[in-house]
Amino acid sequence: MKYELYYWPEIQGRGEYVRLALEEAGTAYVDVARGPRGSSAMMKMMDAHGGTPPFAPPFLKAGKLVIGQTANILLYLGSRHGLAPKTEAGRLWVHQLQLTIADFVLEIHDTHHPLGPSLYYEDARPAAKKRTEEFWKERVPKYLGYFEELLDGNGGVYVTGRRLTYVDLSLFQIVDGLRYAFPKRMKAFEKEVPGLVNLHDRVAARPNIAAYLESDRRIPFNEQGIFRRYKELDV
């Protein structure tokens, strides 16, 4: 079975956490919306009256199943592709961490969209500056400090133990994205989370991930996605 991933074709966004899992697993998939007529196919899937239409991309078609919500997709993929433990306790723990990352991703998005996701950044700039200040003062230390502590508490190999899970892949993306969006702030902050920085580098060096990052399947960061580089927010 070849998976079909449906996500906005111009950005990494939330789809990237799924792409990283599919790439690490080395499983066959099509990034549908990046192909011809892919975007209209995606919109059509979201309009299934009487069925189970997803609220928003990303969603994954796996045979007859259509699974929406990033963390839910990873829950499904994790146990099938060796990216999560097989025990119920282990699966719930890894999923719990992914949901915490999802909360953080929403807060990252809010740094440039504090007045709501439908407005233009330019119309919310003063509020974005305030929100970004609070984000770096309170939220980044709280979230990244939590994951650093988990890494430290279990010997520093992977966040949930001796085997890589999709949570480690997602944390790679968080570090990578914060480096892109806030190069100055992140550079100053990295000394607080040496374990996470090291995890980022080890994930980036894994053969499947390294090949993916070099390929044109990896969409470059840009100012349409979750991680946006706005100079005035990176002081």
- Residue pair 7/15 in contact by the 8 Å Cβ criterion: yes
Contact by Cβ (8 Å): 98, 71: yes
- With the C-alpha atoms ordered 147, 149, 153, 158, is the resulting torsion angle positive or negative? positive
Question: Which DSSP category does 191 fall into?
Answer: G
Chain-centroid distance, C-alpha 99:
11
CB of 47 to a copy of itself, least distance (A): 10
Is there binding between residue 71 and a copy of itself (CB under 8 A)? yes
Residue 10, interface with a copy of itself (CB under 8 A)?
no
* Cα-to-chain-centroid distance, residue 211: 18
- Piece of the chain touching a copy of itself by CB under 8 A; list 19-27, 90-98, 185-193, 198-206: 90-98
Among 1, 36, 51, 215, binds a copy of itself (CB under 8 A): 51
| DSSP secondary structure of 77-131 | HHHHTTSS-SSHHHHHHHHHHHHHHHHHHHHHHHHH-TT-TTS-GGGGHHHHHHH
Q: Which stretch binds a copy of itself (CB under 8 A): 25-33, 102-110, 170-178, 189-197?
A: 102-110
Q: Which residues between 121 and 140 bind a copy of itself (CB under 8 A)? A: 124, 127, 130-131, 134-135, 137-139
Closer to a copy of itself at the Cβ: 43 or 119?
119
**Using CB under 8 A as the criterion, which residues of the chain lie in contact with a copy of itself when the complex forms?**
49-56, 64-65, 67-69, 71-72, 75-76, 89, 92-93, 95-96, 99-100, 102-103, 106-107, 110, 114-119, 124, 127, 130-131, 134-135, 137-139, 143, 146, 149-150, 153-154
